[in-house]
Amino acid sequence: MPYCQKCGKQHEEDAAYCSYCGTRIEALQPPSQEPVVQEAKPRGSQHLRAIEVAGILFIVIVSAAIIIHQTMPNILSPQPTQTLTSSDWSGYSVSTSLKNPQPTVTSVTGSWTVPSVTPTQGYSYSAAWIGVGGQFDQTLIQTGTQHDSLNGDQSYSAWYELLPDLPITITTMQIKPGDIIKATITQTDSITNTWSINISDQTTGQSYRTSVVYESTMLSAEWVVERPTIGNRVGALANFGSVKFTDCSATMGGKTGKITDFPSSQFTMINRQNVALVSLSSLGQDGSSFTASYIPIS
């Protein structure tokens, strides 16, 4: 109920004037309230936040792609190749470049099947091996198998060699035609130039491992069929039939890949008349296998 603001008397709700002092009575008003204004968020702030998140994700993805590219061989880009002739080699080699290779080869691996040599009168020789070096320089660390015809008798053996030293026969391994051989040469200590040579007969379970100190230029890795040098002369090539290499891989600059992942050279063995002695297949679809076959000379 309203009160007179002058004399303080109480009056009815509809009283317009105070009946005691005649003062006009004003209706009481509720206390005023400040309107509550809700702070509005800027339009598009959520959109900007989404853009920031997308930008961070993009940077992470690009950084990961760069790391993968630097640590893995570029298997999507075709690598350069070249075809060469040799008086004693038939096979493939890989390097960082075909013209200016870098000394970064630290491992080579390969498998092959021991061939059956056709025995003939006289002496003829053949070998299958993997190696590091030898294409661009005179250093070569290698291990493999020998398949010879010695005046009508067949001879088979496993060996390793550190040029310019002579090959060392592994007498604890007895190999025969049809055996599957796996070999690996790996640098185990770059400070001391220590290398591990491993060769095993997957068919019989025989194996051999040794550690050597050798200063390789580390410019190339190879998978080769060879007619060995005998007494400072290239020996006659034995009729070995064919040798199939599989699972050929190398590590260069920390990147491990198959033959097609690196610049590669294909070697064809020829005689003094420039006649091919061994035919070499193209690389298999897996990029890590090929076959070298003896070419009979009529």
The confidence score (pLDDT) of residue 108 equals 99
In a domain, 282, yes or no: yes
In the numeric block, the tokens 């001391």 are attached to 192
Q: How far apart are CA 263 and CA 261, in angstroms?
A: 7
Range of the domain at 259: 78-294
- 11 and 113 co-located in one domain: no
Q: What is the pLDDT of residues 182-201, one digit of tens each?
A: 999 999 999 999 999 999 99
Q: What is the pLDDT of residues 222-281, one digit of tens each?
A: 999 999 998 889 999 999 999 999 999 999 999 999 999 999 999 999 999 999 999 999
- 152 and 223 co-located in one domain: yes
**Residue spans of the chain under pLDDT 70:** 1-55, 57-77, 298
- 85 and 13 co-located in one domain: no
Specify the pTM: 0.75
Domain containing residue 162: CATH number? 2.60.120.700
In a domain, 138, yes or no: yes
In a domain, 111, yes or no: yes
β partners of residue 196? 186, 211
If DSSP states are collapsed to H, E and C, what string results for 106-172? EEEEEEEECCCCCCCCCEEECEEEEEEECCCCCCEEEEEEEEEEECCEEEEEEEEEECCCCCEECCC
- 84 and 23 co-located in one domain: no
In a domain, 41, yes or no: no
In a domain, 35, yes or no: no
Domain count across the chain:
2
Q: How far apart are CA 235 and CA 124, in angstroms?
A: 7
The SS3 of residue 68 is helix
CA dihedral (222, 228, 232, 236) positive or negative: negative
- 114 and 259 co-located in one domain: yes
